Amino acid sequence: MNSQPDSIEQTAVSRRKSWFARVVAPVSRETFWLTLQTFDITRILIASVLLLYFVLEGKKIFPGAEQWAYLGICLIYLGLAIGYALLAKYHQRRFLLQLLSQIVFDMAVVSLLYFAAGGVKSGLAILYLFPLAGCAILAPLLWALFFVSGVTLLLLAGSLYDMIQGEVDVSISQAGLYGVVFFAAVLIVNRLAAKLIKQENLAQRQGMALQLQQAVSRLVIADVGDGILVLNLHGAVLMANPAAEHMLGIVVSDEGARFRLVELPFLMPLADAFALWLTRPPTDHAAFVNIHPSGGMSPGTGRDARRDMATHLKLRFARVQVAGAEEERVVAFLQDVTEIENQAQQLKLASMGRLTASIAHEVRNPLSAISYAAALLGEDEITPAQQRLLAIVGDNVARLNRMIEDILRLSRKAQTSGEPLDLACFLEEIVAEFRETQALAPGMIELDAPSRWQVRFDPMHLREVLVNLLSNALRYASGQDDSIRVRALPGLHQRIALHVQDDGPPITPEVRSHLFEPFYTTSSKGTGLGLYLARELCLNNGAMLDYEYHMEEFPDGEVRAGGRFVITLSRADAN
């Protein structure tokens, strides 16, 4: 017999739970509790105003002992209002139960005050609007209509009772007007609240979807192998993913100060490529630069900045098009092609080595014959013009022989010596020998090397590397005193950095990107293997050779970019 009522009650409970689960979802539950807390604070203010009002005007409204009774009601109202506020703040459970109990409490207190003050003529009926509006905002429309119906009936019943008692200044139409206003207010407030709740839920769902998308994007960007830099049009680095930080040897903090590419000397090739891209029409063409992250503790660089061989990067820039954006952004995509190019060079050298080794005998025999014939012709009496021709023949024969020797040496693994080498004494010997063989002025080469350092490097190999670098420096130096400088400085991780530089213009980014490639040369008399062989010899001895940009103060006081070759040597006493 009781199964049907129980079923109806369970259905009603389930509907209330489903409403609360739908409306007070996780995305909006916090907003509902915050609104209820605001509702409670407003109740405290209203109770305080009522208390102050009855303290000041109570004698005029309530006669005799009734004044103290209703002052007590106001005090109880204020105390319970504070209690409800604390409950909504620290015990956020059973939202609908808390809300309905507070509204019932408000109705009871307002009704007591309303009838005690004389009913409709007191003007206190407007106090019903506060709990009714709160119910319309936070409860389903059915509950709001239930309470506004009860209030309307209560007002009508009170007015009818006063008329029966013979009150002449009481009109039932005034109570009905209050009811109409309350119904209209509840309907309007409830519809507006429902619309706002719907918009808020939609906005929060979209916000959560955006946050999820951002999290996925951050994960993909952080895990992708290619580097990504976000720049503004002034070349300031705003963001970088871990791959870009690793490639460039920098650390970009979200809260850190921005730094520009031109502020870090070793990022000058990247800054030049970016500046060149800005001056050209939009294009997808890629640029290739070499980056050597060895700029020390510059702004934005990390303590673990790599002292490594130059990283050959493929760059591609793209503008971020956002309508109405205050500042335009540019995304730089960095791809490390060093390993790919090294493999391509090894294949190229292997093929060239096999080809040269197979034809070396056939090529050398004709070259020897040509050289011998030219020497015999030189013994005869010949004209100056013929002498110049013979010299050209001899120079080209020597060049071909040297090229064949260099190519053959590429396929032979250099044998190194494990004995420690006194760096200062060795450098003094090499510099003195180079001055003598090249007939240089004594002050043209400046040498600065502490005498306490010993390194692990084969003497013959280091001699060949330094002679190659000094010959390149001599080609571009001005010839004045200290126009060529050789300096040994302490490096990172118990290593020694040996600098070889001249006062000539730095190597352009276009040339630098191919600097250590075999068979690449800017000289008509070069083979394009000198720097490549020098780097290979350094690698065989546990050292590194590279070219880096740096900011240097010149004798005229001007600070400008320069370039230098850097050999990073292993100390003999290092662990």
Where residue 349 sits, what CATH number does that domain have? 1.10.287
195 pLDDT above the threshold of 50: yes
In a domain, 415, yes or no: no
Q: What tens digit of pLDDT does each residue of 327-385 get? A: 788 888 888 877 776 676 667 666 666 666 666 666 777 777 888 787 877 777 778 88
Is 149 exposed, middle or buried (CB count within 10 Å of its CB: 0-12, 13-18, 19+)? middle
Shared domain for 182 and 242, answered yes or no, is no
CA pseudo-torsion sign 34, 37, 43, 49: negative
Shared domain for 475 and 548, answered yes or no, is yes
Phi, psi of 101 (to 5 degrees): -65, -40
221 pLDDT above the threshold of 80: no
**What CATH code is carried by the domain that includes residue 439?**
3.30.565.10
Shared domain for 447 and 478, answered yes or no, is yes
Query: Among the three residues 410, 433, 468, which one is the final residue of a domain in this structure?
Result: 410
Residue type, 263: E
Q: What is the mean pLDDT of the chain?
A: 75
Q: What tens digit of pLDDT does each residue of 426-442 get? A: 899 988 888 888 888 88
Shared domain for 320 and 348, answered yes or no, is no
Q: What tens digit of pLDDT does each residue of 270-311 get? A: 888 888 788 876 666 677 776 765 543 333 433 333 344 557
Shared domain for 331 and 363, answered yes or no, is no
Strand order in the sheet with 445-448: 445-448, 484-490, 495-502, 559-570, 544-553
Two tokens at 204? 């929060």
Q: Which residue has the higher pLDDT, 308 or 36?
A: 36
In a domain, 239, yes or no: yes
Shared domain for 69 and 168, answered yes or no, is yes
Query: Among the three residues 335, 364, 392, which one is the final residue of a domain in this structure?
Result: 335
Nearest-CA neighbor of 260 among 244, 241, 274? 274
Q: Which phi-psi region, left, alpha or beta, contains residue 563 (left: φ > 0; alpha: ψ -120 to 50)?
A: beta
530 pLDDT above the threshold of 50: yes
Q: Are 51 and 78 in contact (CB under 8 A)?
A: yes
Shared domain for 229 and 373, answered yes or no, is no
Q: What tens digit of pLDDT does each residue of 241-281 get? A: 888 888 887 777 665 557 788 888 778 778 888 887 888 76
In a domain, 67, yes or no: yes
Residue 571 DSSP label: B
Is 392 exposed, middle or buried (CB count within 10 Å of its CB: 0-12, 13-18, 19+)? exposed
Average pLDDT over residues 126-141: 83
Residue type, 171: S
d(Cα 573, Cα 575) in Å, to the nearest integer? 7
Shared domain for 21 and 120, answered yes or no, is yes
Nearest-CA neighbor of 387 among 374, 372, 369? 374
Two tokens at 542? 């546990």
Nearest-CA neighbor of 113 among 129, 100, 128? 128
Residue 3: its pLDDT value, please?
A: 47
Provide the terminal-to-terminal Cα distance of the chain, rounded to the nearest Å.
92
Q: Of all residues in the chain, what percent carry a pLDDT higher than 90? A: 0
Shared domain for 440 and 398, answered yes or no, is no
Number of domains in the chain: 4
507 pLDDT above the threshold of 70: yes
Residue type, 356: T
**What CATH code is carried by the domain that includes residue 295?**
3.30.450.20
201-208: Cβ within 8 A, 24+ apart: 201/25, 201/27, 201/28, 204/27, 204/28, 205/27, 208/27
Q: Of all residues in the chain, what percent carry a pLDDT higher than 70? A: 73
d(Cα 53, Cα 47) in Å, to the nearest integer? 10
413 pLDDT above the threshold of 80: no
In a domain, 60, yes or no: yes
Shared domain for 469 and 512, answered yes or no, is yes
Q: What tens digit of pLDDT does each residue of 60-74 get? A: 655 555 666 677 777
Nearest-CA neighbor of 388 among 374, 403, 368? 374
Average pLDDT over residues 396-407: 72
Average pLDDT over residues 386-393: 82
Each residue of 72-100: b (16+ CB within 10 Å) or e?
ebbeebbebbeebbebbeeeeeebbebbb
Is 139 exposed, middle or buried (CB count within 10 Å of its CB: 0-12, 13-18, 19+)? buried
Two tokens at 501? 């530089």
Boundaries of domain holding 287:
224-335
* Helix boundaries (H) for 24-140: 29-61, 66-90, 95-116, 129-138
In a domain, 459, yes or no: yes
Shared domain for 135 and 186, answered yes or no, is yes
Shared domain for 78 and 135, answered yes or no, is yes
Residue 11: its pLDDT value, please?
A: 54
Q: Are 163 and 157 in contact (CB under 8 A)?
A: no
Nearest-CA neighbor of 566 among 337, 309, 250? 309
Helices (H) and strands (E) in the chain, counts: 15, 13
